[in-house]
Chain A
Amino acid sequence: MYNDIRYAYATGRIRSLQKDLVDETTVRRMLETPDEEAAFAVMMETSYAAYATGAGVSDYERMLEAGLIEAYRLVRSISPDGTLTDILLRRYDLHNVRIIIKAEHIGADYKHLIVPMGRVDPDTIAAAWHLRREGWEEGSESSHILPPASQISLPRWLERLLYRAALMIDNSGDLYLVDLMLDKAWFRGLKAWSKENSHYLYAWLVVRIDAVNIMGMLRLRAGGWSRERWREIFIEGGRVSRSKLESLYDLTPEQAAAGLIDTVYRREIEGGLEDYRKCGELSYMEALFEARLLEVLRAERYITFGSQPLLAYLLRKEAEVRALRMVMIGKLNGLPHDIIHKRLRAFLYR
């Protein structure tokens, strides 16, 4: 059964909110403006205007963040299953973990880099991290790692990640490995949740994993990185197997991409490859994968009520924020119109 009656109210509400998502025409108008002031003026016509403080263009990032926070807050308040938003917001908790660890490592202030979107208070994460492994007990999956005397309460999954990160830094001092571990933890958590709760999200995630694996392989190959480094970043769970990608690793990025044409991502690979031949850049292929991800989300149109419209709304909202940020950054840095346009491919031709 595709329909889940528990989501009837939430779906009705989301169907209305979908109208406020920034459309292609607005993004095009922003893109065609001569400078950042004019682009910002177009942005002020969208729902993000509600978060403006009057500071002008410099306000745009805060407005985008506020819009996204509000979208998550609203969906969480109407969703019968809170884990639906929690699992997506885990990414922001992991971002904050990453920031806290790196800031401590280089002795810098991190507060301004914290994203206030996670489900766990960043100060609590920081307090747990600053305890480091002092008094931590390595136990089974179900037992506490943080000592009860610390009075710090963290979700079990986060406790385990902090513990692993601490071990990694003590053993190797390599923050890159911690980064990878955190990235993989997000994919692993999302995969486990979606497999159990949402085939729709799982289908999206599989494409996302493939996109990360394929783009990672081609980028590392183009950068001359070793095969071992690529093995470290590979994420299990996609449709394109590890062996398939590994067999292409010794080829040039162009040959490797050509070797992937027989996969289900023919359109993205062919389009990206054509652009790579012309400009030597892989950003267009990445944009095509982004378009593919948005295409996967379209299946929610055929769902009368269920978690799918809610998930699609949040994931589209994230894509929208990325697109608007891309335009504003491009305008602020004086990037040529066609460069920004190419990177916005996903948003403009979905």
Chain B
Amino acid sequence: MDILGIVLAFAGAALAAGLAGIGSSIGVSIVGQVAAGLITEEPGKFGQTLILQALPGTQGIYGLLVAFLVIFKIGAIGTLKAVTPGQGMAILLACLPIALVGLFSAIAQGQAAAASIGLIARRPEELGKGIIYPAFVETYAVLALIASILLLQGVAL
């Protein structure tokens, strides 16, 4: 069994879950800090801020999803399949869209959601609009997820 192929596939899964997770944790943390400031003054807005704080968390889930797909593809739970270095590299590259876009889009979405907290601080009735702006950032994370899934499907083992 060629160990290099397996290592590359594992690296892809780790990057997808790791980088997207880092991005989400930063994004959620940003929104959480701004929300905590608002809640100190207006505890009644907890529910509204919670929705906004959850938004940048999805990238981490997408990254984990792709990592699971890789794990099942190479049989990491159970019997490992034979993965050539070329196949391993292809799996690693397939993981990069969600790893990189997940990292940066989660931080950007966190900032957009934090700005929306500023919006609902002054105009709580505009929560809907406040969710739509950061939600648009999500589009690119979803596109990256689709790209990663399709690319993984293209790697035949």
Contact = CB atoms under 8 A, between A and B. Distances in A.
Interface of A: 3, 5, 8-19, 78, 304-305
Given A17-B41, A304-B111, A12 B30 contact: no
Contacts of A9: 33-34, 36-37
Contacts of B121: 12, 15-16, 18-19
Contact of B38 (A5, A12, A304): A12
Interface string B17-41: 0000000000000100111111111
A278 B41 CA distance: 48
Interface of B: 30, 33-42, 111, 114-115, 117-118, 121-122
A248 to B, nearest CB: 43
Contacts of B118: 11-12, 15, 304
A145 to B, nearest CB: 41
15 contacts: A5-B33, A8-B30, A9-B37, A11-B114, A12-B33, A12-B38, A12-B40, A12-B118, A13-B41, A15-B118, A15-B121, A16-B121, A304-B34, A304-B111, A305-B30
Contacts of B34: 8-9, 11-12, 15, 304-305
A14 B117 CA distance: 11
B115 A78 contact: no
A91 B138 CA distance: 47
B111 A78 contact: no
Contacts of A3: 111
B90 to A, nearest CB: 36
Given A5-B30, A305-B34, A12 B117 contact: yes
A305 B122 CA distance: 15
Contact of A16 (B37, B111, B115): B37
A18 to B, nearest CB: 7
Contacts of A304: 34, 111, 114-115, 118
B124 to A, nearest CB: 10
Contacts of B38: 12-13, 15-16
Contacts of A17: 41
Contacts of B122: 15, 18-19
A199 B113 CA distance: 25
A13 B38 CA distance: 5
A3 B26 CA distance: 14
A13 B117 CA distance: 10
Contacts of A15: 34, 37-38, 117-118, 121-122
A78 B37 contact: yes
Given A5-B30, A19-B121, A14 B37 contact: yes
A339 B36 CA distance: 44
A15 B115 CA distance: 10
Given A15-B117, A304-B118, 6 more contacts: A9-B37, A11-B34, A11-B37, A12-B117, A16-B37, A16-B42
B50 to A, nearest CB: 14
A9 B36 CA distance: 6
B115 A8 contact: no
Contacts of A13: 37-38, 40-41
A5 B41 CA distance: 20
